[in-house]
Amino acid sequence: MQQEKEKQRAWNFAIIIIVLILILAQSFSIYLIYKTSTESLKKISNLGNKTAEDISLLNKDFQSKVNTLADSINALTSSQDALKKQISEVKAQTSADFSGIIEQEIKGVVSIKTDVAQGTGFIIASNGYVVTNAHVLSGASFANVYTYENKRYGADLIGYDLDMDIALLKIQGSFSRLDLGDSDDVKAGEKVIAIGNPLGLSFTATEGIISARDRKGTNNLPYYFQTDVSLNPGNSGGPLISTKGEVIGINNFKISGAENIGFALESNYLRQTINEIAATELNQTLV
């Protein structure tokens, strides 16, 4: 009997040992599986991160190349525009061929029509500021501005200077503008053109030279170019343009009964007057 009990204990002990061995084996297997899975997940995660980094680097490289290409296209376009402008200047200076200058600048010239008169003006800021002679607006109750594309815009009067005969208008939109040159650099004998609205013939270009500079105007101030460019009623307020395509004066008046003796306010005094009006009415400078 005692022997059977001892034998039973031995079997129980053996079974416990076997169970413990199985538990340890199972635990070790689970540990190996966990470790292998963790390492695999880590590798997958590292691979995913590396792939994401590679994709990010590829995107950055691609974007950089796109930006470089865009910059090259913009630079090429700017170079072409600059070259076209230089060719136009050379043609105007050497052969009196103003076709290139006119093509570029006429888009910034406007016709001004009121209920009592008509004249010319030009855009000095791309957001729609227009300059003309103040006498073009004298006695008017409204003014409309017509662009080269024959689009009509109602104009608001910002301000004016009667002594200098300059008025500043505003139309709504985005436009081609004309640049003011340095009238101090202009010499007698230089070729110029006027673009205006003589006798209602919109956007007419006439050619001539600077006959003299620093002439006195009707205000008795020596701020005017004398020019032999043909000026007629309707040309008032239009630009006098150099062979560089810059506005060097605003056509103002002519001597009645005389042939081809016109006067234009020099651009440096025009700039000063425009900025004085803008500073007073808008608290800013424009040109």
Specify if 12 maps to a domain.
Answer: yes
Residue 175 lies in a domain: no
- In a domain, residue 220? The reply is yes
Q: Do 82 and 138 fall within a single domain?
A: no
Does residue 256 lie within any of the structural domains? yes
Tell me the C-alpha distance between 144 and 178, whole Å.
19
Q: Please give the pLDDT value at position 273.
A: 98
Query: Does 118 reside within a domain?
Result: yes
pLDDT for residue 90: 43
Kindly name the residue from 88, 111, 202, 236 that is annotated as catalytic. 236
Domain boundary among 78, 95, 112: 95
Domain co-membership, 149 together with 191: no
Residues 86 and 125 reside in one and the same domain: no
What are 201-239's pLDDT values in tens digits? 889 999 999 999 999 999 999 999 999 998 888 899 999
Per-residue pLDDT of the chain (287 residues; tens, 9 = 90+): 666 666 667 666 777 777 778 777 777 777 777 777 677 667 666 666 666 666 766 666 667 665 665 565 565 455 555 545 544 444 445 456 788 888 889 999 999 999 999 999 999 999 999 999 999 999 999 999 999 999 999 999 999 999 999 999 999 999 999 999 999 999 999 999 999 988 878 899 999 999 999 999 999 999 999 999 988 888 999 999 999 999 999 999 888 777 779 999 999 999 999 999 999 999 999 99
Active site residue 156: no
78 and 63 assigned to the same domain: yes
Q: Is 165 a catalytic residue?
A: yes
152 and 216 fall within a common domain = no
Domain holding 34, by residue range, is 1-95
Question: Among residues 64, 95, 126, which one ends one of the domains?
Answer: 95
Does residue 237 fall inside a structural domain? yes
Query: Are 161 and 199 in the same domain?
Result: no
Residues 159 and 201 placed together within one structural domain of the fold: no
In a domain, residue 66? The reply is yes
Same domain, 56 and 80: yes
Count of structural domains within the chain: 3
Q: Of 170, 205, 226, which closes a domain?
A: 170
User: How high is the pLDDT of residue 18?
Assistant: 79
Specify whether 189 is located in the same domain as 258: yes
Output the pLDDT for position 54: 64
Regarding whether 274 and 189 lie in a shared domain, the answer is yes
177 lies in some domain: no
Which one is catalytic: 88, 135, 202, 267?
135
Whether 191 and 259 map to the same domain: the answer is yes
CATH number for position 244: 2.40.10.10
Question: Do 162 and 195 belong together in one domain?
Answer: no
pTM: 0.68
